[in-house]
Chain A
Amino acid sequence: MSKVYIKSVGVVPVGEHWNKSLTDLMVEASLNALKNAGNVKIDRIVVGNMMSGYLNNQEHLGALLASALGMKGTDALKVEAACGSGGMAVHEGYVSVKSGEFENVLVVGVEKMKDTDTSVLTKALAMAESAEFTQVVGASFISLNALLMKMYMNRYNVQEEYLDNFPVIAHKNAVTAPHAQFRKAFTLEDVKRSPYLAEPIRLLSSAPSSDGAAAVVLSSKPSDVEILASEVSTNELILSQRENPLRFEATEKAFKKAVEKSSIDPAKVDFLEIHDAFPIVAALSLEAMGYSEEGKAGYDAAKGKYNFEGDLPILTFGGLKARGHPVGGTGAYQVAEAYMQLSGTAGKNQVQGAKVGITQNVGGVDTTSVVHVMRRVS
C-alpha cells in the first residue's frame, strides 16, 4: 500500500465573509493549496461539509467544486460526519491514496454559516443528534454539551473556572495566527463576565459560528509531511443512551488505533490540535487520549501543561474557539495547521522542533471521532 503525504495546504482566514459564497470559499482554499502544490494532476476531490443543504440550499459539492475549478471529469464527492466532516474528508482522502487507487487527492473542508439566522443555525447544528428523540424536545447542540459539563462538574467536583482555561489558552495562541477569526487574548475573568448561553457554557467559552474553508493536497509522492495514521471511531448517537456519557469512547478508540498504527510514543507528541468546541469537549478529549487523568484536565490546564510553552501545546493557532469553527471545515483546518507546524511554516505560532503532531476532530458529542497522526519527513 502507498504511503500518504501532505503535499500542500491552503486556508481561507476564518471569519464572517459576507462577500463570499460557499463556492467562493472552497475555490479560494483550493487554489491556494493547488498553487502551493506546484504542478500536480488531481485525480480525486473530497469535500467535507455538514450543513450546505440546509443552510445554503446546496448539495452535490463534489461536482460543484470540480466544476468551479475547471476540473470537470474528476472523481469528486462530499462526505459528512457533522462537525467531524472536515476530518472525515481528510480520512477519505487518506484512504483513497493509501489504497493505491489515487495518486493526488484534493481535500477541502468548508462551511458557510453566517448567511443564516442564529435559531435556524442552532436547529441545523442539532441535526448531529437524533431528529426523532433529541431535536423534538427542543435540545440544541450547545445544551447537550452544557448537560455534559454539569454532569462532569458534579461527578468530579470541578468548578467551571478550571474548564474555562481552555478558551483562554485558545485565544492567547490565536493572537499571532493570521487565519484566526479572533486574534484577541482574554482572561478567566473576562469569560466569567460573559453571559451564559446554556449554563455552565458561556458566550466566551463557546466556539463561534464561522465561514471558512481549508484545503489539503494529499499525495503518494514523498513530501515534507507524512500522515502516519488516520483513524475513525464512533460512539452511540444519542448521548443519553451511553453507559457513561463522560467517557469519550470514540476518541479513546480512534486515538488508540492511531497510536498503534503509527508506532509513535504518545508521550513524545510535540503538539495536539483537539476539538475544543466547548471546554467540556476539550477536557473529555484530553482525558480520553490519556493526557490528563479523569476529572483532571481543567486542573492540568490551569497549571500550564497545555500552554504554548507548556509540556504539550494544544490549539496552536487558536483551535475551534479562537481560530474559529466553520463546522465542516474545522477538521481540514486542523490538518492544515499540523502541516504548517511540521513543515516549519507556522510563523510566530511555530512549535520549535516539532516532529510529530496529532489532530482530533469530532462530530456530535464525540459521536464520530477522527484522529490523524502526522510526522515531519526528515
Chain B
Amino acid sequence: MIPIAYWRNRKLYTRLIGSRCKKCGAEYYPPVKVCKKCGSAEIEEKEMPKTGTIVSFTKLTEPPVDFKDYAPVYLAMIRLDNGILVLGQLADAESEEIKIGAKVTATIRKWTEDGQSGIIYYGYKFKII
C-alpha cells in the first residue's frame, strides 16, 4: 500500500464514491475519467448504494504480501443495487453463509497496516445481511 495514494482515494475507499456520466447517465465504480458508453468527459461524482448481492466468491489462502497476515481472505464480486459490479472482501464471513445470491451490505473495516507502528488502512468490505 502506498500511503499518499491511499490518502488521495480515501473517500472512494470508505464511501464507495464512483462516478456518473452527465451526458448519458451511466454510473461507474471505480470512478472513470471518460464515459465508457458515450465517450463524454463530463463526469461527476456519484455515491454508490451500499447494498447488493453476491455474484461470485472465493477463499484465497495465499494473498499478496500486504495481506499475508489476514489469510485466508474471502473475496467477492458484488452486484450493487444499482447494477454496478464491485470487487471487495467479505467481512465476518463464516464460509457456510457465503453463497451466490446472498444479500450484503457495505461496512468499514481494516484492510491492512504498515507494520506495528505504521499507517492503518481502512476501507469498505461487505458483510452478509
Contact = CB atoms under 8 A, between A and B. Distances in A.
A118 B70 contact: no
A123 B36 contact: no
A119 B71 CA distance: 11
Interface string A180-202: 00000000000000011111110
Interface in A138-182: 138-140, 142-144, 146-148, 150-151, 154
B13 A136 contact: yes
Interface string B1-35: 11001100100010000000000000010100000
A4 to B, nearest CB: 34
A126 interface: yes
Contacts of A241: 28, 30, 36, 85
B64 A198 contact: no
B121 to A, nearest CB: 8
B65 interface: yes
Range of interface residues on A (Cβ < 8 Å): 35 or more
A198 B58 contact: yes
B61 interface: yes
B87 A196 contact: no
Contacts of A267: none
A242 to B, nearest CB: 8
Contacts of A146: 58, 60
B64 A147 contact: no
B80 to A, nearest CB: 10
A199 B123 contact: no
A133 interface: yes
Nearest to B6: A136
Contact of B63 (A131, A140, A147, A201): A140
Contacts of B58: 143, 146-147, 150, 198-201
Contacts of B67: 138
Contacts of B1: 136
Interface string B82-111: 000111110000000000100000000001
A198 B72 CA distance: 9
B62 A197 contact: yes
A24 interface: no
Nearest to B61: A197
B30 A130 contact: yes
B114 to A, nearest CB: 13
B60 A236 contact: no
A345 interface: no
Contacts of A123: 64-66
Contacts of B125: 137
A132 interface: yes
Nearest to B85: A240
Nearest to A120: B65
- List the 5 closest A-B pairs by CB distance, nearest first: A123-B64, A146-B58, A119-B65, A138-B67, A133-B30
Given A137-B123, A144-B87, 6 more contacts: A138-B111, A140-B62, A143-B60, A236-B36, A240-B77, A241-B28
